[in-house]
Amino acid sequence: MRIGDLSARTGASVRMLRYYEEQGLLAPVRTDSGYRIYQESDVDRVARIRCMLSAALPSGVVGEALKFLLDGRAVIPDEPADRARLADTLEGELDLLTEKIESLQHSRELLATIVSDVRGDVVGPGRPGDPGCAVRRSVRKAGPAIGPVR
């Protein structure tokens, strides 16, 4: 089938399908005129790709997992050794994701205090020990509140 059909059957845009190919996740054959031709198994393959990408896995890792996907079979490697290795890299991604989440939570808390400071019309330098982002409203009488110091 051509790219338009695969797109319709997977929900992935034509643009994305070409992108997956660039990432080495799909390898359709080409007609003499250059049109990409996909196999039935690619419908399932694209579903797996989208699933793993939604799980925040880097395309490189998705490619690794897909190496074990041979024509509609499970992504789980047959060889116990391969399975263990894949599980390890996947778990590594899980840890990376956890780190990002924690970093974002820190950012969220900082932003929350900045918001409350703005709403509370905080004046002067920040309190000792604060993030240093406290808003300083100038002593000037004119002009609305000043944004965070750059």
In the complex, minimum distance from the CB of residue 17 to DNA, in angstroms, rounded to a whole number? 8
Nearer to DNA by Cβ, of 36 and 45: the residue is: 36
Binding footprint of DNA, residue count (CB under 7 A): 14
Q: Give one word for 14, left, alpha or beta, with left for phi > 0 and alpha for psi -120 to 50.
A: alpha
Q: What is the DSSP string of 37-71?
A: E--THHHHHHHHHHHHHHTT--HHHHHHHHTT--S
Q: Is residue 35 within the footprint of DNA (CB under 7 A)?
A: yes
Report which DSSP code applies to 27. Answer: -
In the complex, minimum distance from the CB of residue 21 to DNA, in angstroms, rounded to a whole number? 8
At residue 26, the 3 state secondary structure works out as coil
Question: Contacting DNA (CB under 7 A), which of 9, 10, 19, 112?
Answer: 19
Stretch of 29-37, 63-71, 112-120, 132-140 contacting DNA, by CB under 7 A: 29-37
Q: Is residue 51 within the footprint of DNA (CB under 7 A)?
A: no
